[in-house]
């Protein structure tokens, strides 16, 4: 359904109407991952959780730096 698109870091993606195909070319053959909608949604939840934790850590560090200033 969609042409392959380069995402960066040696990773290509395409969509076939049912799921997302991720392809990582290697010297002795490509590595493939196929993500259906449920798996993609779970990955997105995981990514959002990580981003929230990173933001909380950044906010805590910023607050600690502000409290150290005279």
DSSP 8-state symbol, 70? -
Read off the pLDDT of residues 12-68 as tens digits, 9 standing for 90 and up: 999 999 999 999 999 999 999 999 999 999 999 999 999 999 999 998 988 888 888
Count of structural domains within the chain: 1
Whole-structure pTM value: 0.70
Which tokens belong to 61?
Answer: 């560090």
Residues 28, 46: contact at Cβ < 8 Å?
no
pLDDT at 51: 97
pLDDT at 50: 97
- Which domain range does residue 21 map to? 5-68
pLDDT at 66: 83
pLDDT at 62: 84
Which tokens belong to 55?
Answer: 């933001």
pLDDT at 67: 82
């Amino acid at each position: 359904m969609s042409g392959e698109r380069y995402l960066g870091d040696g990773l290509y993606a395409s969509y076939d109407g049912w799921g997302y195909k991720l392809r990582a070319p290697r010297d002795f053959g490509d590595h493939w991952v196929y993500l259906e909608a449920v798996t993609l949604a779970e990955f997105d939840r995981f990514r959002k959780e990580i981003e929230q934790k990173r933001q909380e850590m950044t906010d805590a560090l910023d607050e600690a730096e502000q409290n150290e200033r005279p």
